[in-house]
């Protein structure tokens, strides 16, 4: 069955405390959601703020291929005539094919007499319908209102449908209705009203997705939600999870299997524009949604991925990951070796030694699941135990401050096959100075490393109770314009930890280049340190 998707990230989603989109952001997101195959996109409330008015003015130039754009607003105010109501005027000026109107279903929350409220709902919808708009009616507080006075709640739906609303959306505004009760109420509404019933849920009781699915099972054929579960208070129904469950678990059609493969990409794209990290543990689209760490689980997944993966990661545009840690077994290591094309080049003994080394490093505080570059280096060193490009004989870094400014100077001594290389460099801080110095030492022998650059740098305190004497883990992300990788260093000295991560990144890049660059391969050929 076709289930219509109604995205309200750009309106309801922005009610989340940390979520904010510029007009340019919103325009780009509309195009992304249209590309994903969303049926309706609610762009904002033009009657409430200048940003949304500007958005709708500029959105008139958008050329959407599938989605219909909707403007959101309330019924007319009781004191205004329909023609003079500013909110209704703003909805018409938005020039969208679809208009969403909300009206109260809970008699206790009304500010006018019940009969007057019903007339206002009907009059507003009829007026917008006469202006050529497709009207979606959001029945605010529907489930609370039904529990308090079912007859009145149902009469609001009746008034909206008779006036011409094409969709009646039942709203769990407080987000606290349990799935069994919600399903019971939806079933009653479905008996009384034909046409499209929609469902809008909030996540205050961690039930938004479950409630949305329960509503569909009782006959709702339109689902409202926000990408990544953004929204007021605890958020709204996570449209990523709703779509994936409807398509892959319940056999319905929402955006279709081909578009579904772009779900993870769209989720990351919108999170990036919101300037928020996409939750690693977000179902279906998160970085860890199909990640495996327990060695027993990894062994099972290698035999049959369905043992611990409820859907194929590729179906939603994600991928399987096996994490490395002190919980790892040989299955994890084997998986990673296969991933890097190295499985057939290590002996059984080398496998065991590598696993023990991984467990030792995790015990010391390394986090190899985040520093896959460090893990790859361990593997390549195990494959080539005599291959060393340089050894560090020593380094020194001094920082001098004068008033509000400071400058760091580093000196590094390295031994390579052609002798000792020394360099001194100054930088904006100790890590910057050491980075410049290391490159300076190796520039003549290995000019290819000039393309490697630091793109991110994080420090994590591992033993907070030891205060400034605590060990720290430094995680550094690198790029050579072709790919990115992370390396880690652990020490009770943040400079030493940073240096370790830095040296490992350069060693890894050089090892990779030996497989592609004959000049580097010749430079290290048959060279063995101290053996």
* Three-state secondary structure of 455-485: EEEEEEECCHHHHHHCCEEEEEEEECCCCEE
What is the per-residue pLDDT for 303?
Answer: 60
Closest CA to 387 of 530, 527, 512, 516: 527
Ordered alpha helix ranges (H), 81-194: 86-93, 114-130, 142-148, 150-163, 179-192
Q: How many residues does the chain have?
A: 531
Interior CA angle at 445 toward 439 and 448, to 5°?
Answer: 65
Q: Can you list the residues of the chain whose pLDDT is less than 50? A: 324, 326-327, 517-531
What is the per-residue pLDDT for 517?
Answer: 47
DSSP state, 113? -
DSSP state, 226? B
pLDDT tens-place string over residues 401-442: 877 788 899 999 998 888 888 999 998 889 889 989 888 888
To the question of pTM greater than 0.95 for the whole model, the response is no
**Distance separating alpha carbons of residues 241 and 260, to the nearest angstrom:** 11
CA 170 vs. chain centroid, Å, equals 28
Closest CA to 240 of 43, 10, 26, 38: 38
Domains of the chain (ranges; CATH) run 4-273 (3.20.20.70), 291-364 (no CATH), 391-524 (3.30.160.270)
What is the per-residue pLDDT for 361?
Answer: 83
What is the per-residue pLDDT for 376?
Answer: 82
Task: Answer for the pair 182, 172: CB distance below 8 angstroms, yes or no.
Answer: yes
Helix (H) or strand (E) holding 298: helix 295-303
What is the per-residue pLDDT for 279?
Answer: 84
- Token output for 136: 């979606």
Rounded alpha-carbon distances, angstroms, from residue 510 to 16, 467, 524, 528: 46, 37, 10, 16
């Amino acid at each position: 069955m076709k289930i219509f998707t109604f995205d309200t990230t750009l309106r309801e989603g922005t009610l989340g405390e940390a979520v904010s989109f510029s007009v340019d952001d919103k325009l780009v997101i509309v195009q992304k959601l249209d590309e994903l195959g969303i049926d309706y996109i609610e762009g904002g409330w033009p009657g409430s703020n200048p940003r949304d008015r500007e958005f709708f003015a500029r959105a008139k130039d958008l050329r959407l291929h599938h989605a219909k754009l909707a403007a959101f607003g309330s019924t007319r105010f009781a004191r205004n005539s329909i023609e003079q109501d500013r909110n209704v005027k703003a909805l018409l000026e938005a020039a969208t094919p679809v208009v969403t109107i909300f009206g109260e279903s809970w008699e206790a929350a009304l500010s006018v007499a019940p009969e007057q409220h019903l007339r206002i709902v009907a009059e507003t919808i009829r007026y917008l319908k006469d202006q050529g708009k497709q009207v979606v009616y959001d029945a605010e507080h529907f489930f609370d209102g039904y529990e308090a006075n079912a007859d009145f709640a149902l009469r609001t739906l009746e008034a909206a449908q008779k006036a011409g609303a094409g969709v009646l959306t039942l709203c769990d505004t407080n987000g606290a209705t349990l799935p069994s009760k919600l399903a019971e109420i939806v079933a009653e509404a479905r008996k009384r009203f034909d046409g499209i019933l929609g469902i809008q849920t909030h996540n205050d009781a961690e039930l938004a997705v479950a409630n949305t699915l329960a509503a569909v099972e009782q006959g709702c054929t339109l689902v409202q939600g926000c990408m990544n579960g953004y929204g007021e208070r605890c958020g709204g129904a996570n449209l990523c999870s709703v779509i994936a469950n409807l398509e892959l678990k319940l056999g319905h059609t929402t955006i279709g299997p081909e578009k579904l493969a772009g779900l993870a990409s769209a989720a990351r794209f919108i999170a990036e524009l919101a300037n928020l990290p996409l939750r690693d543990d977000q179902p279906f689209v998160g970085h860890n949604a199909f990640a495996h760490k327990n060695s027993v689980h990894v062994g099972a997944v290698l035999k049959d991925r369905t043992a611990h993966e409820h859907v194929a990661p590729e179906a939603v545009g994600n991928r399987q990951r096996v994490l490395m840690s002190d919980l790892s077994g040989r299955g994890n290591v084997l998986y990673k070796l296969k991933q890097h094309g190295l499985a057939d080049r290590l002996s059984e003994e080398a496998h065991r030694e590598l696993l023990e080394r991984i467990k030792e490093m995790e015990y010391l505080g390394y986090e190899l699941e985040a520093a896959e570059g460090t893990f790859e280096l361990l593997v390549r060193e195990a494959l080539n135990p005599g291959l060393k490009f340089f050894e560090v004989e020593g380094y020194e870094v001094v920082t001098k401050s004068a008033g509000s400014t400071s400058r760091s100077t580093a000196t590094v001594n390295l031994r390579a096959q052609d002798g000792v290389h020394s360099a001194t460099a100054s930088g904006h801080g100790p890590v910057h100075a050491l980075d410049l110095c290391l490159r300076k030492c190796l520039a003549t022998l290995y000019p290819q490393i000039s393309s490697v650059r630091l793109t991110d740098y994080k420090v994590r305190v591992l033993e907070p109770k030891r205060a400034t004497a605590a060990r720290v883990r430094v995680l550094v992300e690198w790029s050579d314009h072709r790919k990115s990788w992370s390396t880690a260093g652990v020490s009770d000295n943040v400079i030493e930890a940073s240096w370790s991560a830095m040296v490992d990144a350069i060693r890894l890049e050089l090892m990779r280049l030996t497989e592609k660059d004959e000049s580097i391969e010749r430079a290290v050929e048959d060279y063995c340190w101290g053996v």
